[in-house]
Structure 1
Protein backbone atom coordinates (compact mmCIF):
# COMPACT_ATOMS: atom_id res chain seq x y z
CA UNK A 1 0.00 0.00 0.00
CA UNK A 2 2.83 2.36 0.91
CA UNK A 3 4.60 1.62 -2.39
CA UNK A 4 1.37 2.24 -4.36
CA UNK A 5 0.79 5.60 -2.64
CA UNK A 6 4.38 6.65 -3.29
CA UNK A 7 4.03 5.75 -6.96
CA UNK A 8 0.76 7.68 -7.30
CA UNK A 9 2.27 10.71 -5.59
CA UNK A 10 5.37 10.60 -7.80
CA UNK A 11 3.33 10.39 -11.02
CA UNK A 12 1.04 13.21 -9.93
CA UNK A 13 3.96 15.40 -8.88
CA UNK A 14 5.84 14.95 -12.16
CA UNK A 15 2.80 15.80 -14.27
CA UNK A 16 1.80 18.71 -12.04
CA UNK A 17 5.28 20.22 -12.24
CA UNK A 18 5.32 19.77 -15.99
CA UNK A 19 1.96 21.42 -16.47
CA UNK A 20 2.53 24.33 -14.09
CA UNK A 21 5.84 25.05 -15.79
CA UNK A 22 4.04 25.64 -19.07
CA UNK A 23 0.61 27.07 -18.26
CA UNK A 24 -0.10 30.39 -16.55
CA UNK A 25 -2.14 30.27 -13.36
CA UNK A 26 -3.56 33.35 -11.66
CA UNK A 27 -4.73 33.59 -8.08
CA UNK A 28 -6.07 37.12 -7.97
CA UNK A 29 -5.25 40.80 -8.49
CA UNK A 30 -1.59 41.61 -8.01
CA UNK A 31 -0.32 38.47 -9.68
CA UNK A 32 2.55 38.59 -12.15
CA UNK A 33 1.62 40.05 -15.56
CA UNK A 34 0.17 37.58 -18.00
CA UNK A 35 2.06 36.93 -21.23
CA UNK A 36 0.12 35.69 -24.24
CA UNK A 37 1.50 32.14 -24.60
CA UNK A 38 -0.03 30.97 -27.86
CA UNK A 39 0.63 31.69 -31.49
CA UNK A 40 3.43 30.73 -33.87
CA UNK A 41 6.59 30.40 -31.83
CA UNK A 42 4.73 31.06 -28.60
CA UNK A 43 5.01 28.88 -25.53
CA UNK A 44 2.08 26.68 -26.57
CA UNK A 45 2.06 27.42 -30.29
CA UNK A 46 3.68 25.77 -33.30
CA UNK A 47 7.42 25.81 -32.80
CA UNK A 48 7.16 26.77 -29.14
CA UNK A 49 7.61 24.87 -25.91
CA UNK A 50 4.09 23.43 -26.16
CA UNK A 51 4.93 21.92 -29.52
CA UNK A 52 7.25 19.50 -27.77
CA UNK A 53 5.61 19.01 -24.42
CA UNK A 54 1.90 19.19 -25.16
CA UNK A 55 1.73 19.41 -28.92
CA UNK A 56 0.05 17.16 -31.42
CA UNK A 57 3.12 15.22 -32.50
CA UNK A 58 5.60 13.52 -30.19
CA UNK A 59 4.81 15.65 -27.14
CA UNK A 60 4.62 14.48 -23.57
CA UNK A 61 0.82 14.73 -23.63
CA UNK A 62 0.22 15.05 -27.36
CA UNK A 63 -2.24 13.12 -29.43
CA UNK A 64 0.38 11.45 -31.64
CA UNK A 65 3.32 9.60 -30.14
CA UNK A 66 3.27 11.43 -26.82
CA UNK A 67 3.45 9.95 -23.35
CA UNK A 68 -0.34 9.99 -23.14
CA UNK A 69 -1.11 9.83 -26.85
CA UNK A 70 -1.38 7.13 -29.47
CA UNK A 71 1.02 5.80 -32.04
CA UNK A 72 4.00 7.89 -33.08
CA UNK A 73 4.31 9.57 -36.44
CA UNK A 74 4.05 12.89 -38.24
CA UNK A 75 1.31 14.54 -40.24
CA UNK A 76 1.09 14.39 -44.00
CA UNK A 77 1.65 18.01 -45.14
CA UNK A 78 -1.10 17.51 -47.72
CA UNK A 79 -3.61 16.17 -45.20
CA UNK A 80 -6.94 17.95 -44.87
CA UNK A 81 -8.61 18.58 -41.51
CA UNK A 82 -11.73 16.67 -40.56
CA UNK A 83 -15.09 18.43 -40.28
CA UNK A 84 -16.72 19.51 -37.02
CA UNK A 85 -19.38 16.82 -37.55
CA UNK A 86 -16.66 14.17 -37.84
CA UNK A 87 -15.06 15.51 -34.66
CA UNK A 88 -18.43 15.27 -32.88
CA UNK A 89 -18.87 11.66 -34.00
CA UNK A 90 -15.37 10.80 -32.78
CA UNK A 91 -16.13 12.34 -29.37
CA UNK A 92 -19.41 10.41 -29.13
CA UNK A 93 -17.62 7.13 -29.80
CA UNK A 94 -15.07 8.01 -27.12
CA UNK A 95 -17.63 8.67 -24.37
CA UNK A 96 -19.55 5.48 -25.16
CA UNK A 97 -16.86 3.64 -23.20
CA UNK A 98 -18.10 5.36 -20.02
CA UNK A 99 -21.60 3.89 -20.24
CA UNK A 100 -24.87 5.55 -21.14
CA UNK A 101 -24.93 8.49 -18.72
CA UNK A 102 -22.64 10.83 -20.67
CA UNK A 103 -23.69 12.97 -23.61
CA UNK A 104 -21.89 15.42 -25.87
CA UNK A 105 -23.09 19.01 -25.41
CA UNK A 106 -20.91 21.08 -27.73
CA UNK A 107 -17.95 20.91 -30.07
CA UNK A 108 -15.79 23.96 -30.79
CA UNK A 109 -13.34 24.22 -33.65
CA UNK A 110 -10.13 26.11 -33.02
CA UNK A 111 -7.11 26.57 -35.26
CA UNK A 112 -5.14 23.80 -33.57
CA UNK A 113 -7.79 21.31 -32.40
CA UNK A 114 -11.44 20.57 -31.74
CA UNK A 115 -12.72 20.95 -28.18
CA UNK A 116 -15.65 18.85 -26.90
CA UNK A 117 -17.67 19.34 -23.72
CA UNK A 118 -19.39 16.34 -22.12
CA UNK A 119 -22.24 16.34 -19.58
CA UNK A 120 -23.85 13.77 -17.27
CA UNK A 121 -27.46 13.10 -18.29
CA UNK A 122 -28.54 12.15 -14.77
CA UNK A 123 -27.18 15.22 -12.97
CA UNK A 124 -26.70 17.95 -15.57
CA UNK A 125 -23.16 18.41 -14.25
CA UNK A 126 -20.44 18.74 -16.86
CA UNK A 127 -18.27 15.63 -16.77
CA UNK A 128 -15.17 16.19 -18.87
CA UNK A 129 -13.47 18.17 -21.62
CA UNK A 130 -11.94 16.48 -24.66
CA UNK A 131 -9.64 17.39 -27.51
CA UNK A 132 -10.04 15.94 -31.01
CA UNK A 133 -7.08 16.00 -33.38
CA UNK A 134 -7.98 18.01 -36.48
CA UNK A 135 -6.33 15.59 -38.90
CA UNK A 136 -6.51 12.13 -37.34
CA UNK A 137 -9.74 12.44 -35.37
CA UNK A 138 -8.00 10.98 -32.32
CA UNK A 139 -9.77 11.88 -29.07
CA UNK A 140 -7.93 12.51 -25.81
CA UNK A 141 -8.70 14.12 -22.43
CA UNK A 142 -7.95 17.82 -22.46
CA UNK A 143 -4.85 18.75 -20.50
CA UNK A 144 -4.92 21.32 -17.71
CA UNK A 145 -7.93 21.64 -15.38
CA UNK A 146 -9.72 18.65 -16.92
CA UNK A 147 -6.83 16.44 -15.83
CA UNK A 148 -5.62 18.15 -12.68
CA UNK A 149 -8.79 19.60 -11.13
CA UNK A 150 -11.52 17.19 -12.24
CA UNK A 151 -12.41 15.30 -9.06
CA UNK A 152 -14.51 12.61 -10.76
CA UNK A 153 -13.08 12.01 -14.24
CA UNK A 154 -9.57 13.44 -13.91
CA UNK A 155 -6.21 11.90 -13.06
CA UNK A 156 -6.49 12.06 -9.28
CA UNK A 157 -9.88 10.34 -9.37
CA UNK A 158 -8.51 7.52 -11.53
CA UNK A 159 -5.86 6.81 -8.89
CA UNK A 160 -8.37 6.92 -6.03
CA UNK A 161 -6.69 9.93 -4.45
CA UNK A 162 -9.73 12.23 -4.12
CA UNK A 163 -12.71 12.09 -1.75
CA UNK A 164 -16.25 11.61 -3.04
CA UNK A 165 -16.60 14.07 -5.95
CA UNK A 166 -19.14 16.88 -5.71
CA UNK A 167 -20.22 19.80 -7.86
CA UNK A 168 -21.18 21.77 -4.73
CA UNK A 169 -17.95 23.70 -4.22
CA UNK A 170 -16.95 26.56 -1.88
CA UNK A 171 -16.42 28.87 -4.86
CA UNK A 172 -19.85 29.29 -6.44
CA UNK A 173 -20.50 29.99 -10.13
CA UNK A 174 -21.08 33.78 -9.73
CA UNK A 175 -17.84 34.10 -7.77
CA UNK A 176 -15.99 32.05 -10.39
CA UNK A 177 -17.28 34.40 -13.08
CA UNK A 178 -16.10 37.42 -11.10
CA UNK A 179 -12.64 35.89 -10.58
CA UNK A 180 -12.48 35.20 -14.31
CA UNK A 181 -13.48 38.80 -15.04
CA UNK A 182 -10.74 40.11 -12.74
CA UNK A 183 -8.19 37.89 -14.44
CA UNK A 184 -9.18 39.14 -17.88
CA UNK A 185 -9.22 42.79 -16.81
CA UNK A 186 -5.69 42.39 -15.48
CA UNK A 187 -4.18 40.21 -18.18
CA UNK A 188 -6.31 40.48 -21.33
CA UNK A 189 -8.03 43.88 -21.30
CA UNK A 190 -10.99 44.02 -23.65
CA UNK A 191 -11.80 40.33 -23.26
CA UNK A 192 -14.98 39.48 -21.31
CA UNK A 193 -16.38 36.25 -19.92
CA UNK A 194 -19.53 34.19 -20.49
CA UNK A 195 -21.45 32.04 -17.99
CA UNK A 196 -19.74 29.32 -15.95
CA UNK A 197 -20.19 25.62 -16.75
CA UNK A 198 -19.91 23.49 -13.60
CA UNK A 199 -17.57 20.49 -13.48
CA UNK A 200 -16.55 18.31 -10.54
CA UNK A 201 -13.92 20.54 -8.93
CA UNK A 202 -13.91 23.56 -11.21
CA UNK A 203 -15.75 25.75 -13.71
CA UNK A 204 -15.00 26.44 -17.37
CA UNK A 205 -16.10 29.68 -19.05
CA UNK A 206 -15.93 30.93 -22.63
CA UNK A 207 -13.99 34.16 -23.06
CA UNK A 208 -15.46 36.74 -25.44
CA UNK A 209 -14.13 39.61 -27.53
CA UNK A 210 -16.26 41.85 -29.72
CA UNK A 211 -19.28 39.66 -29.07
CA UNK A 212 -17.49 36.57 -30.40
CA UNK A 213 -15.86 33.63 -28.62
CA UNK A 214 -12.17 34.30 -28.05
CA UNK A 215 -11.19 31.19 -26.08
CA UNK A 216 -11.85 29.80 -22.62
CA UNK A 217 -10.53 29.57 -19.09
CA UNK A 218 -11.24 27.56 -15.95
CA UNK A 219 -11.63 28.53 -12.29
CA UNK A 220 -10.86 26.13 -9.44
CA UNK A 221 -13.97 25.55 -7.30
CA UNK A 222 -11.93 25.32 -4.10
CA UNK A 223 -9.06 27.79 -4.43
CA UNK A 224 -10.39 30.26 -7.01
CA UNK A 225 -7.24 29.88 -9.11
CA UNK A 226 -7.70 30.78 -12.79
CA UNK A 227 -6.23 28.65 -15.58
CA UNK A 228 -6.40 30.08 -19.11
CA UNK A 229 -6.59 27.49 -21.91
CA UNK A 230 -3.59 28.35 -24.07
CA UNK A 231 -3.56 25.29 -26.32
CA UNK A 232 -6.45 25.92 -28.73
CA UNK A 233 -5.41 28.77 -30.99
CA UNK A 234 -7.90 31.19 -32.57
CA UNK A 235 -11.60 30.23 -32.48
CA UNK A 236 -13.26 29.22 -35.76
CA UNK A 237 -16.78 27.89 -35.14
CA UNK A 238 -18.89 25.73 -32.82
CA UNK A 239 -21.69 23.17 -32.87
CA UNK A 240 -24.15 22.72 -30.00
CA UNK A 241 -25.95 19.40 -29.57
CA UNK A 242 -29.34 18.74 -28.00
Structure 2
Protein backbone atom coordinates (compact mmCIF):
# COMPACT_ATOMS: atom_id res chain seq x y z
CA UNK A 1 0.00 0.00 0.00
CA UNK A 2 1.04 3.61 -0.23
CA UNK A 3 2.79 4.97 2.80
CA UNK A 4 2.21 8.42 4.18
CA UNK A 5 4.51 11.18 5.29
CA UNK A 6 6.23 10.80 8.65
CA UNK A 7 4.83 12.50 11.69
CA UNK A 8 7.29 15.35 11.33
CA UNK A 9 9.10 17.07 8.50
CA UNK A 10 10.27 15.10 5.52
CA UNK A 11 9.31 11.51 6.13
CA UNK A 12 9.41 9.85 2.72
CA UNK A 13 6.71 7.92 0.97
CA UNK A 14 6.51 4.18 0.52
CA UNK A 15 5.14 2.78 -2.70
CA UNK A 16 3.63 -0.52 -3.67
CA UNK A 17 0.69 -2.15 -5.35
CA UNK A 18 1.22 -4.50 -8.24
CA UNK A 19 4.92 -5.13 -7.72
CA UNK A 20 4.95 -8.22 -5.60
CA UNK A 21 6.60 -7.16 -2.34
CA UNK A 22 4.96 -3.82 -1.76
CA UNK A 23 7.10 -1.73 0.55
CA UNK A 24 5.77 0.63 3.13
CA UNK A 25 6.81 3.88 4.67
CA UNK A 26 9.67 4.01 7.14
CA UNK A 27 9.49 7.63 8.33
CA UNK A 28 11.92 8.65 11.04
CA UNK A 29 10.73 10.53 14.10
CA UNK A 30 13.27 13.30 13.64
CA UNK A 31 11.68 14.31 10.36
CA UNK A 32 14.16 12.73 7.99
CA UNK A 33 12.76 9.98 5.87
CA UNK A 34 13.52 6.77 4.10
CA UNK A 35 12.05 5.69 0.83
CA UNK A 36 10.21 2.38 0.98
CA UNK A 37 9.45 0.61 -2.26
CA UNK A 38 7.69 -2.31 -3.90
CA UNK A 39 9.91 -5.16 -5.00
CA UNK A 40 9.96 -5.80 -8.73
CA UNK A 41 9.47 -9.37 -9.79
CA UNK A 42 12.78 -9.60 -11.60
CA UNK A 43 14.70 -7.76 -8.93
CA UNK A 44 16.66 -4.55 -9.04
CA UNK A 45 20.11 -6.10 -8.92
CA UNK A 46 23.16 -3.96 -8.46
CA UNK A 47 25.80 -4.55 -11.06
CA UNK A 48 25.77 -4.18 -14.80
CA UNK A 49 27.80 -1.35 -16.24
CA UNK A 50 30.39 0.31 -14.05
CA UNK A 51 30.95 3.78 -15.39
CA UNK A 52 33.23 6.53 -14.24
CA UNK A 53 32.52 10.03 -13.08
CA UNK A 54 33.58 13.20 -14.81
CA UNK A 55 34.00 15.07 -11.54
CA UNK A 56 35.39 14.01 -8.18
CA UNK A 57 33.81 10.60 -7.92
CA UNK A 58 32.97 7.42 -9.74
CA UNK A 59 29.63 6.69 -11.30
CA UNK A 60 28.01 3.32 -10.88
CA UNK A 61 25.43 1.64 -13.05
CA UNK A 62 22.70 -0.90 -12.61
CA UNK A 63 21.39 -3.68 -14.77
CA UNK A 64 18.40 -3.54 -17.08
CA UNK A 65 16.02 -5.55 -14.88
CA UNK A 66 14.26 -2.35 -13.79
CA UNK A 67 11.40 -2.82 -16.20
CA UNK A 68 7.89 -4.25 -16.16
CA UNK A 69 8.47 -8.00 -15.77
CA UNK A 70 5.91 -10.74 -15.98
CA UNK A 71 3.83 -9.22 -18.78
CA UNK A 72 3.57 -10.39 -22.37
CA UNK A 73 4.51 -7.90 -25.06
CA UNK A 74 0.98 -8.44 -26.40
CA UNK A 75 -0.56 -7.04 -23.19
CA UNK A 76 -2.10 -3.59 -23.49
CA UNK A 77 -0.04 -0.94 -21.69
CA UNK A 78 -1.58 2.14 -20.13
CA UNK A 79 -1.19 5.44 -21.96
CA UNK A 80 1.11 8.27 -20.93
CA UNK A 81 -1.96 10.34 -20.01
CA UNK A 82 -3.14 7.56 -17.72
CA UNK A 83 0.33 7.40 -16.16
CA UNK A 84 0.18 11.16 -15.56
CA UNK A 85 -3.20 10.79 -13.86
CA UNK A 86 -1.88 7.96 -11.68
CA UNK A 87 1.05 10.09 -10.49
CA UNK A 88 -1.17 13.10 -9.81
CA UNK A 89 -3.56 10.93 -7.78
CA UNK A 90 -0.61 9.49 -5.87
CA UNK A 91 0.75 12.94 -5.04
CA UNK A 92 -2.67 14.01 -3.82
CA UNK A 93 -2.79 10.96 -1.57
CA UNK A 94 0.45 11.96 0.18
CA UNK A 95 -1.29 14.90 1.81
CA UNK A 96 1.60 17.21 0.92
CA UNK A 97 0.20 20.13 -1.11
CA UNK A 98 3.72 21.36 -1.91
CA UNK A 99 4.41 18.48 -4.32
CA UNK A 100 3.52 18.69 -8.01
CA UNK A 101 4.30 16.76 -11.17
CA UNK A 102 7.13 18.37 -13.16
CA UNK A 103 7.42 16.00 -16.12
CA UNK A 104 6.18 12.64 -17.39
CA UNK A 105 8.08 10.58 -19.94
CA UNK A 106 7.47 7.23 -21.60
CA UNK A 107 10.30 4.77 -22.14
CA UNK A 108 10.15 1.24 -23.49
CA UNK A 109 10.45 -0.26 -19.99
CA UNK A 110 8.15 2.06 -18.02
CA UNK A 111 7.01 5.64 -17.49
CA UNK A 112 9.19 8.14 -15.64
CA UNK A 113 7.89 11.06 -13.57
CA UNK A 114 9.77 13.92 -11.97
CA UNK A 115 8.18 15.61 -8.95
CA UNK A 116 9.09 19.04 -7.60
CA UNK A 117 8.29 21.31 -4.66
CA UNK A 118 6.08 24.26 -5.53
CA UNK A 119 7.52 26.45 -2.78
CA UNK A 120 11.18 26.06 -3.75
CA UNK A 121 10.99 24.97 -7.42
CA UNK A 122 13.55 22.31 -6.47
CA UNK A 123 12.80 18.80 -7.69
CA UNK A 124 11.88 16.46 -4.86
CA UNK A 125 12.09 12.91 -6.22
CA UNK A 126 11.67 10.67 -9.27
CA UNK A 127 9.07 7.96 -9.82
CA UNK A 128 8.60 4.95 -12.07
CA UNK A 129 5.13 3.91 -13.28
CA UNK A 130 4.56 0.33 -14.42
CA UNK A 131 3.29 0.34 -18.02
CA UNK A 132 0.79 -2.45 -17.45
CA UNK A 133 -0.52 -1.96 -13.90
CA UNK A 134 -0.05 1.76 -13.29
CA UNK A 135 1.68 0.93 -10.00
CA UNK A 136 4.10 3.58 -8.75
CA UNK A 137 7.58 3.02 -7.33
CA UNK A 138 10.53 5.28 -6.51
CA UNK A 139 13.19 5.32 -9.19
CA UNK A 140 16.36 3.46 -8.35
CA UNK A 141 19.85 4.97 -8.48
CA UNK A 142 20.49 8.62 -7.56
CA UNK A 143 16.88 9.13 -6.50
CA UNK A 144 17.38 6.63 -3.69
CA UNK A 145 21.11 6.89 -2.98
CA UNK A 146 21.93 10.57 -3.54
CA UNK A 147 18.68 12.30 -2.58
CA UNK A 148 19.55 14.06 0.68
CA UNK A 149 16.00 15.03 1.62
CA UNK A 150 13.64 12.36 0.30
CA UNK A 151 15.88 9.40 -0.50
CA UNK A 152 16.97 6.17 1.15
CA UNK A 153 20.15 7.80 2.48
CA UNK A 154 18.46 10.94 3.80
CA UNK A 155 18.69 10.21 7.53
CA UNK A 156 21.06 12.61 9.26
CA UNK A 157 21.78 14.60 6.10
CA UNK A 158 20.82 18.24 5.71
CA UNK A 159 18.71 18.48 2.56
CA UNK A 160 19.27 22.20 2.20
CA UNK A 161 23.09 22.03 2.28
CA UNK A 162 24.50 24.32 -0.38
CA UNK A 163 25.75 22.49 -3.50
CA UNK A 164 29.42 22.59 -4.42
CA UNK A 165 28.75 21.74 -8.09
CA UNK A 166 26.89 24.36 -10.13
CA UNK A 167 24.41 23.55 -12.88
CA UNK A 168 26.95 24.66 -15.49
CA UNK A 169 29.64 22.42 -13.98
CA UNK A 170 27.23 19.49 -13.81
CA UNK A 171 26.43 19.86 -17.50
CA UNK A 172 30.15 19.98 -18.32
CA UNK A 173 30.89 16.88 -16.21
CA UNK A 174 27.99 15.04 -17.85
CA UNK A 175 29.19 15.90 -21.35
CA UNK A 176 32.75 14.83 -20.55
CA UNK A 177 31.37 11.50 -19.32
CA UNK A 178 29.30 10.99 -22.48
CA UNK A 179 32.23 11.91 -24.70
CA UNK A 180 34.16 9.03 -23.14
CA UNK A 181 31.51 6.31 -22.98
CA UNK A 182 28.82 7.34 -25.51
CA UNK A 183 30.53 9.43 -28.21
CA UNK A 184 28.05 11.44 -30.25
CA UNK A 185 25.54 11.73 -27.41
CA UNK A 186 25.12 15.18 -25.90
CA UNK A 187 23.42 16.61 -22.83
CA UNK A 188 20.53 19.04 -22.68
CA UNK A 189 21.40 22.65 -21.87
CA UNK A 190 19.25 22.52 -18.73
CA UNK A 191 19.65 20.40 -15.59
CA UNK A 192 16.87 19.72 -13.07
CA UNK A 193 18.12 20.30 -9.55
CA UNK A 194 17.19 17.73 -6.90
CA UNK A 195 18.33 17.57 -3.29
CA UNK A 196 21.81 16.10 -3.71
CA UNK A 197 22.07 15.86 -7.49
CA UNK A 198 21.05 17.14 -10.91
CA UNK A 199 19.23 15.07 -13.54
CA UNK A 200 19.85 15.92 -17.19
CA UNK A 201 18.33 14.62 -20.44
CA UNK A 202 20.70 13.09 -22.98
CA UNK A 203 20.26 13.85 -26.67
CA UNK A 204 20.91 11.73 -29.78
CA UNK A 205 20.15 12.89 -33.32
CA UNK A 206 18.36 15.95 -32.00
CA UNK A 207 15.90 14.13 -29.72
CA UNK A 208 15.81 12.89 -26.14
CA UNK A 209 17.49 9.52 -25.74
CA UNK A 210 17.71 9.06 -21.98
CA UNK A 211 19.01 10.77 -18.86
CA UNK A 212 21.80 10.83 -16.33
CA UNK A 213 22.45 12.41 -12.95
CA UNK A 214 25.39 14.35 -11.52
CA UNK A 215 26.11 14.43 -7.79
CA UNK A 216 25.73 17.99 -6.53
CA UNK A 217 28.64 17.62 -4.08
CA UNK A 218 31.17 15.39 -5.87
CA UNK A 219 30.47 15.73 -9.59
CA UNK A 220 30.10 11.95 -9.96
CA UNK A 221 27.99 10.90 -12.97
CA UNK A 222 25.36 8.14 -12.86
CA UNK A 223 23.73 7.16 -16.18
CA UNK A 224 20.14 5.89 -15.96
CA UNK A 225 20.53 2.65 -17.91
CA UNK A 226 17.28 1.06 -16.73
CA UNK A 227 14.72 3.04 -18.75
CA UNK A 228 15.09 1.46 -22.18
CA UNK A 229 14.44 3.50 -25.30
CA UNK A 230 12.72 6.88 -25.21
CA UNK A 231 9.18 6.88 -26.61
CA UNK A 232 7.35 10.09 -25.75
CA UNK A 233 7.08 13.04 -23.38
CA UNK A 234 3.85 14.70 -22.24
CA UNK A 235 3.64 18.42 -21.56
CA UNK A 236 2.84 19.09 -17.91
CA UNK A 237 1.01 22.34 -17.16
**Corresponding residue of 1:80:** 76
User: What pairs up with 1:61-210 in 2 under 5 angstroms?
Assistant: 74-75=70-71, 78-96=74-92, 97-157=94-154, 160=155, 162-166=156-160, 168-194=162-188, 195-210=190-205
Q: Indicate if the aligned counterparts of 2:211 and 2:224 stay in contact, CA closer than 8 A.
A: yes
CA, structure 1 residues 141+75, in 2 after alignment: closer, same or farther (shift >3 Å)?
Answer: same
- 2:56 matched to 1:56? no
Contact 1:127 1:199 in 2 (8 A): yes
Q: In the aligned structure 1, how far is the partner of 2:170 from the partner of 2:132?
A: 34
TM-score (norm 2): 0.74
Unpaired runs of 5+ in structure 2? 1-43
Shift of residue 93, structure 1, vs aligned partner: 1.6
Q: Runs of 4+ in structure 1 displaced over 4 angstroms?
A: none
Q: Tell whether 2:232 aligns with 1:237.
A: yes
**Counterparts of 1:17-56 in structure 2 under 5 Å?**
21-28=47-54, 43-44=63-64, 50=65, 54-56=66-68
TM-score by length of 1: 0.72
Whole-angstrom distance in 2 between the partners of 1:91 and 1:193: 26
Residue pair 1:19, 1:144 contacting (<8 A) in 2 also: no
Which range moves more in the overlay, 90-99 or 114-123? 90-99
The Cα shift of 1:26 comes to: 1.8
- Judge conservation of contact 1:127–1:153 (CA < 8 Å) in 2: yes
**Pairwise CA RMSD of aligned residues?**
2.4
Describe the superposition over 1:176-215 as per-residue Cα deviations: whole angstroms up to 9, x where unpaired: 0000000011110110001111000000000001110010
Structure 1 or 2: more helix by fraction = 1
Deviation at 1:81, TM superposition (A): 0.6
Taking structure 1 as reference, are residues 166 and 23 closer, same or farther at Cα in structure 2, changes over 3 Å only?
Answer: farther
Local SS of the residue matching 2:153: helix
Q: Distance in 1 between matches of 2:170 and 2:136?
A: 28
